[in-house]
A and B are shown apart, each in its own frame.
Chain A
Amino acid sequence: DAGVIQSPRHEVTEMGQEVTLRCKPISGHNSLFWYRQTMMRGLELLIYFNNNVPIDDSGMPEDRFSAKMPNASFSTLKIQPSEPRDSAVYFCASSWTAGGQETQYFGPGTRLLVL
């Protein structure tokens, strides 16, 4: 199995630009999570999808952030417009949800730097 795939692995952009992060979950998994990791705030859950439907987006910082999951094999996290404080490592994770005792598998992350 290829594991969770994220692209790009690194992104450098200028303030005000649109940034799109991509995630391909493990085949057969029905839950997908987006996390953000920073030195200041640690690892935070941004949004969680189950069967392609957003279940909990309470961690999404503000309207500049949006996430979609058009099908079971693809999700995007978009930041528009980007700001320097968005600089972080963004992780995608997926799992097969069956009664809540599943394991989340993390991708390698996308390191975002907004100048």
Chain B
Amino acid sequence: AQSVTQPDIHITVSEGASLELRCNYSYGATPYLFWYVQSPGQGLQLLLKYFSGDTLVQGIKGFEAEFKRSQSSFNLRKPSVHWSDAAEYFCAVGRAPSGGSYIPTFGRGTSLIVHP
């Protein structure tokens, strides 16, 4: 069965500092990997996704993530955090589809706090 671990429940950074959110997955085959962001009272918004090809993936809002198969990781990074980035971040791994859409399994999330 697929699973996702986000080791950090909370991360606190200062505005302008760099950010890295960790994600480790467990999956028997080549995974589909995703990062979503959830602002308070809102649904989830896709930041970026990896299906194949280049292991460094660029997303929206200046985020990027790197797929490292040897480490079973898909860490999210941003070089300079803005106060508006404060939110909950979810990593997800998708089971390969069988004639349909991928079925995602989400991590428990990492809450990002940004200090001015």
Binding site for B on A (CB under 8 A): 4, 31, 33, 42-45, 48, 50, 55-56, 91, 93, 95, 97, 99-109
Contacts and interface: CB of A to CB of B under 8 A. Distances in A.
Size class of B's contact patch?
20 to 34
B90 A43 contact: yes
A103 B49 contact: yes
Contacts of B108: 42
A19 to B, nearest CB: 19
Contacts of A93: 43-44
B103 A106 contact: no
Contact of B109 (A42, A44, A104): A42
A90 B107 CA distance: 17
Interface of B: 32, 36, 41-46, 49, 51, 90, 94, 96-97, 100-109
A4 B101 contact: no
Contacts of A99: 97
Contacts of B90: 43
A103 B47 CA distance: 10
Given A42-B108, A43-B90, A97 B101 contact: yes
Given A100-B96, A100-B97, A103-B49, A45 B44 contact: no
A77 to B, nearest CB: 15
A99 B85 CA distance: 32
Contacts of A107: 43
Contacts of B102: 100
